[in-house]
Structures are given as structure tokens and as C-alpha cells.
Chain A
Amino acid sequence: MPVTAELKGTNRPRYRWWRRWRPYAYILPAGLLLFLIYFLPMLDAIRYSFTDADLVAGTGKWVGLRNYVDLLTPEFGWVLWRTLLWLVLGVGGSMVLGVLMALLLDKKLPGRALFRVILTLPWIFPDSIAAIMWKFTLHPGWGLVNSVLVSLHIVKEPINFFSPETALWAVIAIRIWKGAPFIFLAVLAGLQAIPREVEEAGCIDGATPWQRLIYLKLPMLKPVLWASGTILAAWTLVIFDLVYVLTAGGPLSSTEILSITIYDAGFYDGHVGAASALSMVAIGAVSVFSYFYVRREMRSGLA
């Protein structure tokens, strides 16, 4: 049959219907799988958040908004405040340090390859291992950091880095140590994608290194910074094991962030309903980042 005749045939009404719906039919199996794996458990969690579901007792009575109303306490307000600090400082610090590391190692320095490997190492460590390592390193009794500080007479007595006053800053610092390599890798790749001619043009125009960074490099790195920062923020918000192994949320709840509260409600108390309501708060927050990320990606035509 000639090709024109074949094409003509597909213009019949029943073929038009098929042509319109055929792409959806192709993605239907994958869509169903996605629904089963991602959305069904989430829908179930939403349902649980309106019940008094208990992991052990097996109850599951409808309680309406009670689990959400129960969250309206000053204690939970503090949890949210700490989570915000953890997020803003943890991500902000990681980005500043990651960008600095990338700018430094974008230059031709002796041993650059070795430094790049060393600086990426923290990212490779599993959170729980990193937490144990830092717990030992910063311990006031036998930690390396205190031994050095005391032996160099920088401090008289060992510092308790995990005291109620300092523990949150300590865990945020460890988060920065862990998160910065991701930004470093992303920004380094971004810097290397900037054409050399751009910087050369800046030099010819008499721009100082600082001006070249602010007016040339950073604007060109904006998409990379935006994407990596958003991903890092979503990761940071749901981190659990790093904080749990380091401090278990203490002392005196000073490092209790949202993920720890969810864990305690679900596993220690067995209150699946309450834990689900808390998870909805976390999902809501992560969704904000996801929304901005996806919107930007779509605008830039990548999605």
C-alpha cells in the first residue's frame, strides 16, 4: 500500500481517537506502578493522620483533625523553629562552603585532583557513620578536638560541644561538613562549563577578580545553585540518622528537629496517627521546595 494511502487511513475518526490517546496508553503501566509505589502509601498516610492508629494496639478510629490540633503546642513550635534553623543554616552554610571550595579548586593548584577527592569524602560517608565519627572526635572526655585544644593551651577545660547551649550549632556544623561536598561538585561542574572567553572578556574590560565573580560567574551559576540548593534543602529537611546518632534529639530537646519527633511518635510511642500527621507537615514543607524546583526546571525547558 502506498504511504499516502496509509496516512489517509489513520485520519479516520476511530484512528484519530487512538492517535490522541496512544501516548497515555503507553505510559499507563508506568503511571500505575508509580501510583502504587509512591502515591498509595502517601494516601494511606493521609488517611492515618485522621485516625488514632496505634502500631501495636491496632486501633484506627477516625478522630478528625485531632492529630493536627494536638500539634498546636509551644513544644512543637520549638521543634519547627529548630527545624527551620537546621534547614536555613545547614543549607546556607553548605552552599557558601561548597561554592568557596569549588572556586578555590577551579584554579590550577598543585595537588588539585587529590584535594577534590578529599573534599568529596564527607559526602560519601553514610550519615550514621559520620555521626559516630564526629561523636568520638568531639567528645569532651576522649575526643581528638578537645585533646588538641587542651594540649595547645587554647582552652583550659574540654569543651562540651553537645551541651544544651551548643548542640544544635554542632549538629548544623556537621551537616554543613556533610552537605558542602555536594554543592562543591555541582558548582565545580558549573564553573567548568563557563566558557573561558567570558572570563577573558571580563579581564580585557578591566574587571577585578571579585567583579568577575559577582557579575559574571555567579549569575551564570544561578541555575546550578538553584537546582543543587533546592535538592539539598529537601534532603536536609528529612535527615534523621545524623542527628539521632549524634544526640538523639537532646540534650533537653535542644536538637529535636521534625524528623526526630516523627520517629519518636511512630516508633517509640507507636502512635501512627500522630506520626502521620507530623509527616504531612514534613511532606508539605518538602513539597514547597519541590514545587519551586519543578517550576524552574519547566520554565528553563528542561522538564
Chain B
Amino acid sequence: MSRYPELKLWSAVCVAALSVALPLGGAQAQGTVTLTFTRAGDSATVAKIFDPMIKVFEAAHPNVKIKSIPMGFDEANKRFPTMVATGTLPDVSLPPDSLSASLGQKGAFLVLDGKLSKDMVADIPKGMWSAPCANADGKTIGVPANAGALVLWYNVNLFKKAGLDPNKPPKTWDEFIADAKTIKEKTGVKGALGLNGFARNDIDDMFGATLASRSGGQWYWDNKTHSVRVDKAVAEDLDFLRSLVAQGLTQPNVDAYNRADTRKLLRDGDVAMTFDGPWVIGSLKGAADPTSPQSPYRTALLPSTKPPGATSLNLSCWNVSKASKHPDLAIKLVEFLSSAKNTLAHARGYGVIPVRTSVLRSDAFAHQPWNALALAAAGDTVPAKPGVEDLSLVEKVIPGMIQSVLLGKAKGMEALKSLAESQGWPH
């Protein structure tokens, strides 16, 4: 008799279990493909918009299962680099724009040139395809998914209180300054303009938009030298923003306010104007529905040196992981998510500007506050942030440079030169 009868019994059970399970598992692996998907942002909103879309895609592709991985923006900034390093990046993802650009520069995404449908490519404004999240070194690495163009948001009631015509928002920067002074004098608000001076990424957007509308569509990143532009125009535009702070036309202590804070100032009537994107809509809904014709909040194109001017565009893209085991299916999913119908659902559900021209020009975006946002997105735009490998450059170093000028610690040119020297850039 054997000395270990229990061991033999267990071995037999294990072998039997394995012989049943392995073919079954193999059959599942052969039959069903799982794609991972992440749209960074508020998880509840993302689920509400994308769960129905995913169900439709799965129904059309019975052998495909989509696994959605919820992730907030900050979490994505932390987790995505690690996911790239470990080869677990979602097959299809929409990361925060600067993260997308940074990972794209490092070759984390699949090159999509020649793999996308011509109809879809033609329906998205050409300029958007050169945005950092869609393009790295001339190669297409992402499909534009949604946009946030910066426009002038203003409070109708405060315009009226100051004796200004709310139907004639300022078109030029001279008009803007004149109106701002009048508002400040006659309404007693904290500031005519709510300016976000907190040194994190959204200060880049604000300065990029100001520069685009004042100096004609150029941004401060030089793709040839991979460094900031150290020139008179950039320096003057930095000094211009500082002059708004120094004249008391903005709220005091600008460095304590990020963009969410300036939205609050606009909502509460503490400032009459601010430069912001479609995200304001969500912040205002508690106070008054900004899409209603009676809404006290309206949008207009940014003031410009030569109206209509340019603005900066935050663009988020669908990216496909270079490590994806099913790249063709992943591209199919991206095309599906980018269809006109789904683009519209994404834009309306999340409060962003759609990227497809056919949707942008539809009736849904022809009224306040969407009209100016849609017009700005389709017009002359520059990327809000540069496509650089080092995320801290966009999230911290360049914001710090802009903030130092806003606080009067350095003149525009000094700050630019000092930044270039600290980074070893030619200037």
C-alpha cells in the first residue's frame, strides 16, 4: 500500500481539474478578445457617457469584451507612466492632454498614419491633427477626441451695471482694457478679470491664449530647438498680463487662484470676465443654466489685435497603446468612439467641444454659450501646451516662469532668459 494515499488522491484531482480547465481556458482565449479602455476624468460622468457606447460596440463585435478602467486626471498622471513601463497601458485611452503629449514623445503610442478612415480624418479640422497629443515628430499618434478652446466668458449683469452694452463685448485689447477699467470703477467687483495665476498647467493655457490673440497665433514653444521662444513678442505679452495685475484690473492675489477658482469668481459675480473653456458650463449650472437665453453668463471670442483673433486649444486625443496585442481592434474602437454620433454624445455629456466639423457646425452648438466656443475651436488655434517629454516642464517649470512675471518678480524678457538658461536652451 502506498505511504501517501492522500497525496496521490489530490494529484489525481489536480490533474483532472487542469485537463478540464486548460482546454476551456484556451477556447475562451481563442474566442474572446478583451480590450482595455480608459477615458481619464470624472469616473461617474465617464461611465454615463461611455458604458452605452461600449455596449453597442460589443454587440457589433461579439468576440470583443471591453474592460473599462476608471481613472481621474491626477491618478492618470501618476499611473500612466508606470503602466507604460510595465506594458499594461490600456489598449485605447484618453489621457490628460499634456500627459498624452509627453508619452507620445517617448514612443508609448502606436503610429496611426495610413490606418484611419479618410472620412474621419477629413472631418476633423486640420490644425487639430498637429496638436501634441495627436502628433509626435510628424507622426500621427492620436485621434482628436474633444477640445476646449479658451474664449472670453463675461457676466451680462456686471456689464449692464457698469453702463456697458452686454451685446458688444470687447473685440480688441484696447477695448478690453477700457471696459475692464469701467467695470472696476463702477461696480466695485474684486476684479474686472478673473486671472488664474496658480502655477500649474492651466496657467499655460491662459498665457498661450493671450499670446495667440495678441501676437498672431504663435505659441512660445519652438519645435526646432525644443525650447521656449525667447523673443520680444513673448516677453511683451507676458508683461501685458503683468500690467493687468499691476493696474488692479484682476482679482488680488492672482497666484492663489487656479482656473476652477476663477470660475467660482465669475459664478459669484466677483469678477466680470475670465478666459476659460467649455468646462465653465458645469461650474455655473448651480447658479444659472448658461445655455438658457436669460443666462447672465455669455461667451465671445477673445479680444484680439486683429479681430477675429486666435486662441489656444486644449485637445485630448484617443491614443492606442504601442503594447496593444490587438491593435487593429483597438483602432476600430477608436474610430467607433470618434463617430459623429459618439463625438456629439461625448461633447454634450462631458461639457467639451466636439472635434468633428460636421458636429461643430450643427444646430446643437449655434447658441450661447456654445457658439463662441465652437467658432473658436474651428478657427485659428494653437496648442495650449507643448508636446515635451518632461511633463514637469509643462506642469511646473513654464507655469513657474509665467507666475514670476505675474507677481512682478521679473520682467518678461528676464524671466524667459532665466528659464532658458536654467534648462540649457539656446537663446
Closest Cβ of chain A to B281, distance in Å, is 22
Does A267 touch B at the CB level, under 8 Å?
yes
| B84 and A250 form a contact (CB under 8 A) | no
Contact of A75 among B251, B395, B422 (CB under 8 A): B422
Contact of A162 among B190, B256, B264, B422 (CB under 8 A): B256
Contact of B265 among A141, A265, A269 (CB under 8 A): A141
| A268 and B392 form a contact (CB under 8 A) | yes
- Chain B's closest residue to A59 (CB) is B106
| B391 and A252 form a contact (CB under 8 A) | no
| B253 and A158 form a contact (CB under 8 A) | yes
State the CA gap A250–B400 with chains docked (Å): 8
Mark contacts of A188-218 with chain B using CB atoms, 8 A cut-off: 1 yes-contact digit, 0 otherwise: 0000000000000000000000000000000
State the CA gap A142–B190 with chains docked (Å): 12
| B407 and A264 form a contact (CB under 8 A) | no
Does A251 touch B at the CB level, under 8 Å?
yes
Contacts of A141 on B, CB cut-off 8 Å?
Answer: 190, 251, 253, 256-257, 261, 264-265, 270
State the CA gap A210–B100 with chains docked (Å): 63
Interface SS, A side:
loop
Does B82 touch A at the CB level, under 8 Å?
yes
State the CA gap A58–B85 with chains docked (Å): 6
- Chain B's closest residue to A142 (CB) is B264
Closest Cβ of chain B to A160, distance in Å, is 4
Does A249 touch B at the CB level, under 8 Å?
yes
Answer whether A164 and B396 are a contact pair too, CB < 8 Å, given A251-B255, A267-B78, A270-B106: no
Does B198 touch A at the CB level, under 8 Å?
yes
Contact of B253 among A56, A140, A265 (CB under 8 A): A140
Closest Cβ of chain B to A95, distance in Å, is 31
- Chain A's closest residue to B107 (CB) is A57
- Chain B's closest residue to A53 (CB) is B85
| A56 and B108 form a contact (CB under 8 A) | yes
State the CA gap A140–B257 with chains docked (Å): 9
Does B216 touch A at the CB level, under 8 Å?
no
Does B324 touch A at the CB level, under 8 Å?
no
Closest Cβ of chain A to B415, distance in Å, is 11
Contacts of B145 on A, CB cut-off 8 Å?
Answer: none
| B392 and A264 form a contact (CB under 8 A) | yes
Contact of B252 among A55, A157, A253, A264 (CB under 8 A): A157
Contacts of A248 on B, CB cut-off 8 Å?
Answer: 199-200, 396
Answer whether A140 and B252 are a contact pair too, CB < 8 Å, given A252-B403, A268-B396: yes
Contact of B409 among A75, A142, A164 (CB under 8 A): A164
Does B166 touch A at the CB level, under 8 Å?
no
Interface SS, B side:
helix
| B261 and A160 form a contact (CB under 8 A) | no
Contact of A160 among B107, B200, B253, B392 (CB under 8 A): B253
Mark contacts of A254-293 with chain B using CB atoms, 8 A cut-off: 1 yes-contact digit, 0 otherwise: 0000000000110111100000000000000000000000
Does B380 touch A at the CB level, under 8 Å?
no
Interface residues on A, range: 20 to 34
Does B390 touch A at the CB level, under 8 Å?
yes
Contact of B85 among A56, A249, A251 (CB under 8 A): A56
Contact of B199 among A54, A56, A57, A250 (CB under 8 A): A250
Does B193 touch A at the CB level, under 8 Å?
no
| B391 and A269 form a contact (CB under 8 A) | yes
Mark contacts of B69-82 with chain A using CB atoms, 8 A cut-off: 1 yes-contact digit, 0 otherwise: 00000000110011
| A56 and B84 form a contact (CB under 8 A) | yes
Does B372 touch A at the CB level, under 8 Å?
no
| B252 and A158 form a contact (CB under 8 A) | yes
Closest Cβ of chain A to B184, distance in Å, is 15
Does B384 touch A at the CB level, under 8 Å?
no
Does A163 touch B at the CB level, under 8 Å?
yes
State the CA gap A265–B81 with chains docked (Å): 12
- Chain A's closest residue to B78 (CB) is A267
Contacts of A268 on B, CB cut-off 8 Å?
Answer: 77, 390-392, 395-396
Does B371 touch A at the CB level, under 8 Å?
no
Does A139 touch B at the CB level, under 8 Å?
yes
Answer whether A249 and B396 are a contact pair too, CB < 8 Å, given A160-B253, A162-B256, A268-B390: yes
Mark contacts of A210-248 with chain B using CB atoms, 8 A cut-off: 1 yes-contact digit, 0 otherwise: 000000000000000000000000000000000000001
Mark contacts of A142-166 with chain B using CB atoms, 8 A cut-off: 1 yes-contact digit, 0 otherwise: 1000000000000001101011100
Answer whether A55 and B407 are a contact pair too, CB < 8 Å, given A157-B252, A253-B400, A268-B392: no
Answer whether A250 and B190 are a contact pair too, CB < 8 Å, given A55-B84, A56-B84, A268-B396: no
- Chain B's closest residue to A138 (CB) is B256
State the CA gap A58–B106 with chains docked (Å): 10
Does B103 touch A at the CB level, under 8 Å?
yes
| B81 and A163 form a contact (CB under 8 A) | no
State the CA gap A252–B199 with chains docked (Å): 8
Does B93 touch A at the CB level, under 8 Å?
no
Closest Cβ of chain B to A220, distance in Å, is 46
Answer whether A250 and B198 are a contact pair too, CB < 8 Å, given A264-B396, A267-B78: yes
Mark contacts of B258-274 with chain A using CB atoms, 8 A cut-off: 1 yes-contact digit, 0 otherwise: 00010011000010000
State the CA gap A162–B252 with chains docked (Å): 13
- Chain A's closest residue to B85 (CB) is A55
Closest Cβ of chain A to B101, distance in Å, is 12
Closest Cβ of chain A to B74, distance in Å, is 10
Indicate the member of A58, A142, A252 with the most B CB atoms within 10 Å. A252
Contacts of B304 on A, CB cut-off 8 Å?
Answer: none
State the CA gap A251–B198 with chains docked (Å): 7
Contacts of A252 on B, CB cut-off 8 Å?
Answer: 199, 400, 403-404, 407, 409
Given contacts A248-B396, A264-B396, 7 further A-B contacts (CB under 8 A): A75-B422, A141-B251, A141-B257, A249-B396, A267-B78, A270-B81, A270-B389
Name 30 A/B residue pairs within 8 A (Cβ), A-sorted: A55-B81, A55-B82, A55-B84, A56-B102, A56-B108, A57-B106, A58-B85, A139-B256, A140-B252, A140-B256, A141-B190, A141-B251, A141-B270, A160-B252, A160-B253, A160-B256, A162-B255, A163-B255, A248-B199, A248-B200, A251-B199, A251-B255, A251-B400, A252-B199, A253-B400, A268-B77, A268-B396, A269-B392, A270-B106, A270-B390
10 closest cross-chain pairs (CB), A and B: A268-B392, A160-B253, A268-B391, A56-B106, A140-B253, A55-B81, A251-B255, A56-B84, A250-B199, A269-B390
